[in-house]
Amino acid sequence: MLRELVIENFALIDRLRLEFEEGFNILTGETGAGKSIIIDAVSLILGGRSSSEQVRAGKESAQIEGVFELDDNQELFQILAEWGIPLAEDRLLVINREVNQSGRSRARINGQTVTVLTLRRVGEFIMDIHGQHEHQSLLSSIKQREILDSFGGEPIKNKLEEVSNLYYQWQEIKKELGTLTTNEQEKNQRLEFLAFQLQEIERANLKPEEEAALDKERQVLAGAERLYEAASATYQLLYGGEEPGSALDKLGEGVQELEKAVEIDLGLEKWVELLKQAAYQLEEVSREIRSYRDQIEFNPEELSQIEERLDEISKLKRKYGKSIPQILEYSERIRKELTSIEDRSERIETLSKELKEKEKRLAVAVQELSALRKETAERLETAVSKELAEVNMAKTVFKITLKRNFDEQDGLLVGKEKVAVGKYGIDQVDFMVAPNPGEGLRLMTKIASGGELSRLMLVLKVIMAEEDQIPTMVFDEIDVGIGGRTAQAVAEKLLILGLSHQVICVTHLPQIASMANRHFYIEKKAIGERTMVEVRTLGNNDRVEELARMLGGAEVTSTTREHAREMLLLADSVRINKAGQG
């Protein structure tokens, strides 16, 4: 349940702190006072959409924090543990949402940063919010199916998962079969094209490192004449030059001159040795250069062959890949596709068998799901009829129909008929209503008024809350389109619901407000040049004044005050007579 809500710099709210109680909590105030702003703040900490417009003018960011006291919900505890969100022994969950001026937001649960999707997932376990216009969603067949399936609990949930898995498997097989069974002419054209490409690549007999080796060899052959000239000139300079002599001759003369000088200065002997070593090395280099020169080949024919090969490789690269490895990889893909096409008949036969098997299993599963829905629909009809009697709609007849739509082209064979199928099965769920005696059942979209839809949604919320064990329920103006005895009946229903759940309700009806365990009054004030929303928790005397205002409008009289006191006494009587609590 929601224990505490702190709102700062949110819309017209500067700072509010509300402490909610167990049972029935009511928010009242003049139209436009900001009651729904508080519900919007609650929605935000449960993963609602953030907007820059939510930040109070002149402020950097808005902050909303909710403190929730959790019941013993092992599924939620396990999810929190998997996400690494700490939970102390007091089972308090502190959710914080901050929205900045750009509309971006940050969320934390017990101090740990989480995503908005995480907030929504947690919110499914702790609170259900019914907005002002949500009852209109009851007009959707999809929403009606969701309500029915949710009421069916684990059996329908498990069967839905089975149906969904089988449906997607069935669709995948159909998709592959469709690809394989393209017309024969396209198949033959594709075969011919792929065979030509593969033959062209295989005929080239490519090697992964071939291009680099050929390019290097081409450079050598193309530069053979230049290499020969360079090697010859170098050899002549080092070893075989004419007068004035080669470098080796000059080095020998230098050695001779120094050897004569050694007789005068023995210190020159080390230079003689170094020059002799240099001469030996120079002679060795000269021989190597001469050997290199003599091995140079002048082979224009081989150069032409290499250039032709490189040109062939270049053409293949333009068609099949940027490198030889990519070309070879492409050829492997061609082989696999050719094998796939050639083995098409066998694959089609295999897939056709799989498709029939999946169709049979899916047909069984969707019929089992339909049977579960039919049984669930009967239970839900009984539950709704019982609850409708308690909100002054006892004569209303409520039925749920399951309809199948036929689809001869793409449908699933169920029995002897092809019916439309999807991941949710084959049933179109429709809520049927006959509000008045003697009228036939008609679709809810055709006859339900705003007040009737509000009460139907309230009834369904009450029923689903018991099934889902949601601890807190929020109703934002559930009283749309109702009044008088009906308003009193709805008020009593909310009070009784508050005995097993925490209920937070925004209302304009005094009948509903009188039933509250805790009553908050919201008012909008102008302080200086700023408009602010303030909230007060009303004591008994203040509640009399507020109920009198709601009864009489702008003028509060002794009569309306007396009526307000009677309403509060009636609320106490309802607790005693219907719930056994004072």
Query: Using one digit for the tens of pLDDT, what is the confidence trace for 247-283?
Result: 777 777 777 777 777 777 787 788 888 888 888 888 8
Q: What is the pLDDT of residue 311?
A: 85
**Res. 94: pLDDT tops 80:** yes
Q: Is the peptide bond before 435 cis (omega within 30 degrees of 0)?
A: no
Sheet of 61-69, strands arranged across: 13-19, 2-10, 61-69, 92-100, 105-109, 112-114
Q: Give Cα 51 to chain centroid, integer Å.
A: 20
Q: What is the pLDDT of residue 562?
A: 92
All domains in the chain, ordered by first residue: 2-132+435-579 (3.40.50.300)
Task: Give the mean pLDDT of 37-53.
Answer: 89
Q: Which residues contact 139 (CB under 8 A, 6 or more apart)?
A: 444, 445, 448, 453
**Res. 370: pLDDT tops 90:** yes
Q: What is the mean pLDDT of the chain?
A: 84
**Residue 96's pLDDT band (cuts 50, 70, 90):** very high
The CA distance from 571 to 459, in Å, is 20
CB 397 within 8 A of CB 444: no
Q: What is the pLDDT of residue 237?
A: 78
Q: What is the pLDDT of residue 124?
A: 85
CB 289 within 8 A of CB 231: yes
Q: What is residue 406's DSSP assignment?
A: B
CB 28 within 8 A of CB 518: no
Task: Give the mean pLDDT of 415-437.
Answer: 89
CB burial string 202-219: b at 16+ within 10 A, e below: eebebeeeebeebeeebe
Least confident range from 217-226, 355-364, 544-553: namely 217-226
